[in-house]
Structure 1
Amino acid sequence: MAKQDRRGGIIYVKQDGVQYDAKGNFTYNLGRPKREAIVGADSVHGYKETPQVAFIEGEITDNRGLDLDKLVTGEGVTVTLELANGKVISLAEAWYAAEGTGNTDEGNLPVRWESRQQGQEIK
């Protein structure tokens, strides 16, 4: 039986097919326009849309084999985040958008990729 009830837990993050050691909580946004209400003195008049950047953000664990320079200078890359529920979030033509600052306590390295293209949700 498939793990149809699993909603969270094990995830995988990859840049151009290279899998990184995902750690903790990841967040993502497909980059669809954000809608906000336009409210007048008499009623709600409608809404406006503003662009949002598509991103995948979280934390990985550094290891001996990780090419930090390749990671932090990455641009034009494809990034995928495989979720525990079976979905895959994908960013094409993405760039690395974090500082690249690591932490020695547990080898934590915050990561963030952004793209001007909208992300894709693959079910």
Structure 2
Amino acid sequence: MARVAGICYIKVDGEQLEVQGGVECPISDVMRETVMGVAGPAGFKETAQRPYVKVSAVLVPNFPRDKVSKGTDMTITAEFPNGSVYTLSGAYLEGEPVAKADDGLTELEFSGRKGQWQ
């Protein structure tokens, strides 16, 4: 039986973050949508999918706040328990993440130029 879930590892420009819970990355670089005709589905259209990495990070005392918040050309590496690795290049932090004192976490969403599965 193969391991398909469990501990994930996230690195920001080579520096490992402490994470909790899941990591999310898109499986495909395109999104497909059905195009309907009067007789039913006529085919589909494709649009580009935004490459991203979403993660809940633990705010440990040495959390790389400056690197994460100011970086505009980072490399984010997500190592999944099943051995798959997703690399996001040209990455930057998207949105308005906050530090939460009640659970010591921050929700991070990185977007970038290119995401690649290995």
User: What's the TM-score once normalised by structure 1's chain length?
Assistant: 0.89
Q: Does 1:16 align with 2:13?
A: yes
Aligned length: 118
Q: Give how far 1:44 is off.
A: 1.8
Q: Which runs of 4+ in 1 moved over 2 A?
A: none
Which residue in 2 is equivalent to 1:106?
103
Q: Give how far 1:72 is off.
A: 1.2
Which residue in 1 is equivalent to 2:32?
35
- How many percent of aligned residue pairs carry the same amino acid? 29
Tell me how far apart the structure 2 counterparts of residues 75 and 31 of structure 1 sit (CA, whole Å). Answer: 23
User: What's the TM-score once normalised by structure 2's chain length?
Assistant: 0.92
Task: Answer whether contact 1:72 1:100 (CA < 8 A) is retained.
Answer: no
Change (3 A) 1:113 1:31: farther
Structure 2 counterpart of 1:57, from 40, 54, 57 = 54
Task: Answer whether contact 2:88 2:113 (CA < 8 A) is retained.
Answer: no
Q: Does 1:121 align with 2:96?
A: no
Unpaired runs of 5+ residues, structure 2, are: none
Task: Answer whether contact 1:35 1:48 (CA < 8 A) is retained.
Answer: yes
Unpaired runs of 5+ residues, structure 1, are: none
Could you say what the CA RMSD is over the residues aligned between the two structures, in angstroms? 1.4
